[in-house]
Every structure is written in structure tokens, then in C-alpha cells.
A = this chain, B = another copy of it.
Amino acid sequence: MAQKFDVHILGCGSALPTHKHLPSCQVVNVRDKLFMLDCGEGAQLSWRHTGLGWSRLGHVFITHAHGDHVFGLPGLISSMALMGRTAPLHIYAPSSLRPFVQCVLANFCVGMDYDVEFHAVDTMRHALIYDDRSIEVWSLPLQHRVPCCGYLLKEKQGLPHIRREMIDFYGIPTWAINGIKAGQDWQTPDGQTVPCSRLTTPADPVRSYAYCTDTMPTDALPEMIRGVNLLYHEATYADAECAMAKNYAHSTASQAALVAQRAEAGQLMLGHFSARYDDESQLLHEAQSIFPNTILASERMCVAVR
């Protein structure tokens, strides 16, 4: 069974909140380590519906310094302090967000028991900005009205799986297992060599998730996320509003679908819906006519990356 790689949608509306949608925020659960993508107002409120533990959240990635992507940060930072957090919280964002974070820390978080570490992200570069044993996070330059970048979360290649029945058959001791997983063959007591390929099955394929909002279409993006399993791409407007989309540096549903098509993505999830749409099925149909495997994001939804 594949390890956890789930995307929880906390908010998928655009700047103006509606009865239906909250501002942008997602939590990605990678093997029970949590990563937040954007932090719109209400993030800490809707977090409670996910049932996820606060202490597992260590890193927040912000696309750009527009209010509907960051106004949940003050409440998130303060509440985690009240809940007794001591581990540092890392915020990755364009440098333009730094003054706001500093202002919040200086005015509301004096004497807090944990540190908030701000990491300025160069939104013009496609670069590795974070990695640990299980995942890499890459910045994805986007084109919006202010410095903005998306994020690509990519699993690291795991180890092959041990074939328990073969281990038992050859009576291989536990101490040798890690070596075999790492590619070593096994020597039997009578000098026979058993290639590790006979003792293992291949590692799980690497999965990836791309979070791309807010942006107008760019030629470079599809190449940077080629073969991504799941792509979240903003679709603020329907095709009829393409002039407005261009004017505000946003995308239409069809433009989002074209990105998914060119990137040969596995699945497309649309979000950042304009408040003008009571029902986004129109956006869905426009996207599906170009990229059939498209779904609409919605609050409280959890999508597994496959």
C-alpha cells in the first residue's frame, strides 16, 4: 500500500469569500508530515475539520503577498503559540511578505515559545527550496500582478520492497535486510549468490503534486511540472471572461486545462474560483473538453495523489 500523499482543501475561492468558498489554503499530508500551501483567512478555523494534528505542521509555503493567500497567518501563528508549540515554524514566501510577518510577530507574539523562521523565495527561479528524507519542494515561477510562485511537491525515490517469502526461503537474517534493500546481493552459506533483484520488488513509483495559483498562462510552466500526478491550477474565470482573466493576470478553465495537457499531468484540479459563479460546473465542462481527467476543488475535500 502506498504511503500517504493527500491534499486537503481548506479554501479554494478567490479574493472575495462567499457562502461556498474560503480563501486559498491547502494542507498536504506526506507520510504524516504536514505542509501548508497558502494561508487565507479562516485557515486555522477550517483546519479543525481535517482532524489533522497541529504539531505535524512544520512548513508553510506562500505563493504571493495578496491578502486572500496570507491573512490566515496571524491567527495560525498565534493559536499554535497558545497550544504550547515549541518547534519552529518555517514560512517560505516571496520577500514582499516579510514585513507583514514581522509586524505580526512584533505586535502579537512577544514571548512566544517557538520561532517563526521566514525563508524568502526567489519567485523568478525554478529551484529546490526544501527537502527532507521523503520529499522535495520546488518553486515554480508564475506570472501574476505581484511576485508569485507555485510549488511542486515531489516524493523522493523510496527503497525496493523486500519479498518476505524469499527472505524466509534463504533464511536471511534481519541485519542483512537494509543492505539488500540498498542493492546488495546475498551470499548463501554454501557460497551461492542470490541477486537482490530476486529478493525484492521495485520501489513505489515517485509521485508529485503541483500547486499553481495565482497566474496567467506561461509557456515555461508545463515543462517544469512534466508528468506531475496531480496539478492544482487556478481557474478564476470561465472562457467568456478571458479578457478579464488577462487583465487581472489570472487563468480561465480552458487555459488551466491546456497547462495540464501540455504537462501530461495525471489529473487536474481546478480552484481559486471567482465569487461570480454560483456553480462552477461551467468551468469544469470547459476544462474537461480539453483535459478530461479534471475535477473541481471544494472545501473539506481530500484528494490522494496517485
Q: Could you tell me which A residues sit within 8 Å of B by CB distance?
A: 15-19, 22-23, 41-42, 44-45, 48-49, 65-68, 71-72, 74-75, 78-79, 82-83, 96, 99-100, 103-104, 106-108
Contacts and interface: CB of A to CB of B under 8 A. Distances in A.
B108 A17 contact: no
Given A16-B83, A17-B45, A19-B49, 17 more contacts: A15-B79, A15-B82, A17-B75, A18-B48, A19-B48, A22-B45, A41-B42, A67-B78, A67-B108, A68-B75, A71-B74, A71-B75, A74-B74, A99-B103, A99-B106, A100-B103, A103-B103
6 contacts: A15-B79, A17-B48, A41-B41, A41-B44, A67-B108, A99-B103
A163 to B, nearest CB: 46
B79 A75 contact: no
Contacts of A107: 65, 96, 99-100
A100 B100 CA distance: 9
Nearest to A19: B48
Contact of A16 (B66, B74, B82): B82
Contacts of A100: 103-104, 107-108
A79 B48 contact: no
A155 to B, nearest CB: 33
Contacts of A83: 16
Nearest to A74: B71
| Among A44, A67, A108: residue with most chain B CB under 10 A | A67
Nearest to A47: B17
A79 B17 contact: yes
B15 A78 contact: yes
A149 B67 CA distance: 29
A45 B99 CA distance: 25
Contacts of A67: 74-75, 78, 108
Contacts of A103: 99-100, 103
Nearest to A14: B82
A23 B74 CA distance: 13
B66 A108 contact: yes
A83 B15 CA distance: 10
Nearest to A75: B41
| Among A45, A78, A82: residue with most chain B CB under 10 A | A45
A36 to B, nearest CB: 16
Contacts of A15: 78-79, 82
Nearest to A48: B19
A45 B40 CA distance: 12
Contacts of A23: 75
A18 B45 CA distance: 7
Nearest to A15: B82
A283 B48 CA distance: 25
A7 to B, nearest CB: 22
